[in-house]
Amino acid sequence: MTRHLLTGAELDRDELGALLDRADALKAEPLSSRALEGRSIALIFEMHSTRTRLSFEAGIFELGGQPVVLRRDELQLSRGESVADTARVLSRHMAAIGVRTGPDEMLDELAEFASVPVFNMLTARHHPCQALADLMTLREEFGRLAGLKLAYVGDGNNVARSLALLGAIAGVEVAIASPAEYTLTDAHGATLTTQPAEAVAGAHAVYADVWVSMGDEDSAVERRELLAPYRLDDALLDRAAPGAIALHCLPAHPGEEVTAAMLYGPRQRIWEQAENRRHAQKALLELLVRSEGRHADNV
């Protein structure tokens, strides 16, 4: 059966654990797998990216495959060809399709009409590939996931939602502190509060993301004002559990959602987290492509 990764809810705890085990093994020996030998993987970017593009391109190459990066303005999609027909044609050539786009509905439609795995490289509501790397980083630091507490402080956005959703699958307690105006609309089992100190109490890691996500630029001024009390700094991390680490999915705005001292200091694992994108996504691609159905049921 063709498997997709649209939100992360497609994984159960055992599969997630096995994927992270595999990610650790691939990190230890990056060139040990040829799982994508002779295969091409489409990476459609309708929005900006540094880490996601780099980590998928390099990761696919390390697995013996070929990444095919496609920007929307290069595809007939931007001239009116339907998402469904794009999915049908991509499925005839590609072993899997990654998409970064705004509307989750576009990703869902692509998955509906594709006969190869489709994976989410960020949408307005979800960023599951980021959360996979985040869980890998937590496990690397603490040697386990179940029973850990992760606090997210800031905008209730795609990254917050994916941490809540995948954290719940992994057995991580997730607490999210946001201003009432920007709280997460669906908690997925996470505790929601407006108080950063409440969220970080007893946390093993405190996580920040940008205050102005892609597509939210119109409300940038209001967001910066309301989110100012949610900055990740040493004083906030001091309120977490002893030995707690700072995480950030990047890109960062030092002095805004995270201090420069935290971003480049000894208490963060942020740059390791950025590297772990590649290892976790390689493990994901192995899983998805193994499950691949062959062409054609949808035409």
Please give the Cα distance from 161 to 214 (Å, whole number): 15
Of 19-27, 93-101, 135-143, 156-164, the segment contacting ligand NVA by CB under 6 A is 156-164
Q: Binding pattern to ligand NVA, positions 86-125, x when CB under 6 A?
A: ------------------------------------x---
Specify the residue, 113 or 211, whose C-beta has the smaller distance to ligand NVA: 211
- Least separation, in Å, of the C-beta of 62 and ligand CP? 18
Q: Does 157 bind ligand NVA (CB under 6 A)?
A: yes
- Least separation, in Å, of the C-beta of 235 and ligand NVA? 24
Q: Which residues pair with 245 in a beta bridge?
A: 205
Specify the residue, 159 or 200, whose C-beta has the smaller distance to ligand CP: 159
Angstrom distances, CA of residue 223 to CA of 49, 146, 178, 179: 22, 33, 11, 9
Starting at the earlier edge strand, list the strands of the sheet with 149-153.
191-193, 173-177, 149-153, 205-208, 245-248
Residue 273 interacts with which of ligand CP, ligand NVA, none, CB < 5 to 8 Å by class: none
Cis peptide before 251 (omega within 30 of 0): yes
Q: Does 276 bind ligand NVA (CB under 6 A)?
A: no
Could you give the residue numbers annotated as active site? 100, 127, 130, 209, 249, 277
Q: Which residue has the tokens 């989110």?
A: 227
Of 157-165, 166-174, 230-238, 239-247, the segment contacting ligand NVA by CB under 6 A is 157-165
Half-sphere exposure of 64 (CA within 13 A, CB side): 11
Burial label for 260, CB within 10 Å (0-12, 13-18, 19+), is exposed
- Least separation, in Å, of the C-beta of 126 and ligand CP? 12
Among 209, 230, 257, 283, binds ligand NVA (CB under 6 A): 209
- Judged by DSSP in three states, 173 sits in strand
Among 18, 75, 106, 214, binds ligand NVA (CB under 6 A): 214
Q: Does 213 bind ligand NVA (CB under 6 A)?
A: yes
Specify the residue, 202 or 251, whose C-beta has the smaller distance to ligand NVA: 251
Residues lying near ligand CP in the complex (CB under 6 A): 49-52, 122, 130, 249-251
Angstrom distances, CA of residue 13 to CA of 8, 121, 168: 11, 21, 9
Among 36, 60, 87, 159, binds ligand NVA (CB under 6 A): 159
Helices 13-28 and 158-170 meet at what angle, rounded to 10? 100
Residue 210 interacts with which of ligand NVA, ligand CP, none, CB < 5 to 8 Å by class: ligand NVA
Among 210, 232, 274, 285, binds ligand NVA (CB under 6 A): 210
Q: Which residues pair with 67 in a beta bridge?
A: 41
DSSP strands (E only) in the chain? 40-45, 66-71, 96-100, 118-120, 149-153, 173-177, 191-193, 205-208, 245-248
Q: Are the C-beta atoms of residues 173 and 148 closer than 8 Å to each other?
A: yes
Interacting residues with ligand NVA (CB under 6 A): 122, 157-159, 209-210, 213-214, 249
